[in-house]
C-alpha cells in the first residue's frame, strides 16, 4: 500500500494486476481532515471467479467511507477491483477482503461496503461489512441498490 502521496498509478501507464493485492491501492492526504463527510465509490460491474466452478460471478459494489487523514485514489481502486476478474473467491470473501484492505490503508473514521451479488444457481447473495463509527450528524444516503427481485 502506498503510504505517502506519491502515486504508483495516477498519471502513469498501469496494467491490471494479475491478482488482488492491497499494494495496488494508493492514498492521498485528506484536504478536509477537519471535516466529517462521506465519500462513495460504486462499482456496478465488479467480477470475480467462483473458486469451485470457475464460472464468473458479478456484483454491484458500493463503498462508503468517512475519511480521516487519508482519501482513496480512484485509479488505483479501479485497478485493484479489476484484478479480482481472475481471482477465485466466494462472495463473502471478496466483499469483506476489499473492505478490510481499504480500512487498513485509509484508517477511516467509518467505512462500509455493500456487495450486491447477482444470482448464480438461483440465489443472490448480498454481503455487508463495516468498521468504525459513523460521525454524528453525517448524512449517508441509501446505497441505492434494490434487492434482487428477478423478472418482475
CATH of the domain at 58: 3.30.1130.10
Residue 70 lies in a domain: yes
Q: Has this prediction a pTM greater than 0.85?
A: yes
Q: Is residue 12 part of a domain?
A: no
DSSP strands (E only) in the chain: 27-29, 39-49, 56-66, 70-72, 110-117, 126-132
**125 within some domain:** yes
**Does residue 128 lie in a domain region?**
yes
Q: Is 94 a catalytic residue?
A: no
Q: State how many domains the chain has.
A: 1
Residue 134 near residue 150, CB atoms below 8 Å: no
Tell me the longest C-alpha to C-alpha distance in the chain: 49
Q: Determine which one of 50, 68, 93, 126 is catalytic.
A: 50
**pLDDT computed for residue 57 by the predictor:** 96
Write out the E strands in 4-151. Answer: 27-29, 39-49, 56-66, 70-72, 110-117, 126-132
Query: What confidence score (pLDDT) does residue 120 get?
Result: 83
Q: Give the active site residue among 26, 34, 36, 57.
A: 57
In a domain, 49, yes or no: yes
Report if residue 127 sits inside a domain: yes
> Mean pLDDT of residues grouped by 10 in the chain (152 residues)?
66 90 92 98 97 95 98 97 96 98 98 95 92 96 83 51
pLDDT of residue 1: 44
Which string of b and e fits 90-111 if b means at least 16 CB within 10 Å? bbeebbbbbbebbbebbebbbb
Structural domain boundaries, residue 89: 42-132
The reply to whether 117 falls in a domain is yes
- Residue 24 DSSP one-character state: G
Amino acid at each position: 500500500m502506498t503510504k505517502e502521496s506519491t502515486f504508483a498509478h495516477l498519471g502513469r501507464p498501469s496494467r491490471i494486476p494479475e491478482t488482488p493485492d492491497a499494494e495496488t491501492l494508493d492514498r492521498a492526504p485528506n484536504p478536509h481532515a477537519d471535516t466529517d463527510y462521506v465519500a462513495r465509490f460504486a462499482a456496478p460491474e465488479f467480477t470475480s471467479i467462483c473458486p469451485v466452478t470457475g464460472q464468473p460471478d458479478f456484483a454491484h459494489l458500493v463503498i462508503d467511507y468517512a475519511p480521516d487523514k487519508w482519501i482513496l485514489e480512484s485509479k488505483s481502486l479501479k485497478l485493484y477491483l479489476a484484478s479480482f476478474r481472475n481471482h477465485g473467491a466466494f462472495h463473502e470473501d471478496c466483499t469483506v477482503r476489499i473492505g478490510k484492505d481499504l480500512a487498513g490503508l485509509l484508517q477511516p473514521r467509518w467505512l462500509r461496503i455493500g456487495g450486491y451479488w447477482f444470482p448464480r444457481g438461483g440465489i443472490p447473495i448480498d454481503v455487508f461489512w463495516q468498521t468504525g463509527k459513523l460521525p454524528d450528524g453525517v448524512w449517508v444516503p441509501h446505497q441505492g441498490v434494490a434487492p434482487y427481485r428477478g423478472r418482475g
